[in-house]
């Protein structure tokens, strides 16, 4: 039974950690002149030409941030293979020394179901439907100690009262009109 808990908690932590794999792509789009994604970071930006995303194959954004826990704290290279911190080849002291008493992790994801944008006269219109999930997880160091060292057979008690999770999930519908002013710069309006 204790292995089921370890597997479940490890899977949840790994899922949270993997979220950062593509986080830099959308932030880079902010500085790309011809990117149609830049308007997601600044609604005042208008692409040079119209666009349509393929329904259900739209853009995906994932971001992972933490006050301490990085992928290198979860995965270790041992004997030419990649293992998690739960592997017996990873020393408990080596793993636990890099953790704080309270480890904060944030995972933000956005999936665009459909998006379209087009020029009509001097205004750029855009429409989008998407799904967003913002998750915040607080994990006390004692939970990691429990996962690595065992379940208290030595009489030790693990205090996990700081364990918490908050998630906001919602569907987003956006209609944005960017009108070109007479001065020559774009202005945003909804």
Mean pLDDT estimate for the chain: 79
Burial pattern 49-66, b for ≥16 Cβ within 10 A else e, equals eeeebeeeebbebbbbeb
Which of 20-34, 106-120, 126-140, 151-165 has the weakest average pLDDT? 20-34
Q: Which DSSP letter does residue 79 get?
A: T
Q: Which DSSP letter does residue 104 get?
A: E
The rounded distance, in Å, linking the Cα atoms of 46 and 159 is: 52
Residue found under tokens 């349509």 = 52
Q: Is 112 exposed, middle or buried (0-12, 13-18, 19+ CB in 10 A)?
A: buried
The model carries a pTM of 0.61
The rounded distance, in Å, linking the Cα atoms of 81 and 161 is: 35
- pLDDT at position 4 is 62
- Which pLDDT tens digit goes with each residue over 174-187? 888 888 765 544 55
Reading phi first (left if > 0) and then psi (alpha if -120 to 50, else beta), residue 6 is in alpha
């Amino acid at each position: 039974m204790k292995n089921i808990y370890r597997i479940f908690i490890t899977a949840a932590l790994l899922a949270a950690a993997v979220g950062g794999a593509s986080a830099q792509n959308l932030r880079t789009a902010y500085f790309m002149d011809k990117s149609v994604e830049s308007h997601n970071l600044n609604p005042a930006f208008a692409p040079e030409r119209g666009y349509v995303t393929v329904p259900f194959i739209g853009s995906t954004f994932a971001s992972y941030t933490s006050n301490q826990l990085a992928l290198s704290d979860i995965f270790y290279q041992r004997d030419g293979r990649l293992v998690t911190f739960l592997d017996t080849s990873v020393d408990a002291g080596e793993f636990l020394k890099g953790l704080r008493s309270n480890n904060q992790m944030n995972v933000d994801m956005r999936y665009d179901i459909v998006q379209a944008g087009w020029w009509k006269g001097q205004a750029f219109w855009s429409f989008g439907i998407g799904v967003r999930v913002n998750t915040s997880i607080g994990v006390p160091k004692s939970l990691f100690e429990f996962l690595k060292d065992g379940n208290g057979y030595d009489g030790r008690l693990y205090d996990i009262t700081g364990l918490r999770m908050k998630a906001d999930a919602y569907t987003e519908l956006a209609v944005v009109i960017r009108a070109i002013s007479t001065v020559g710069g774009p202005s945003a309006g909804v």
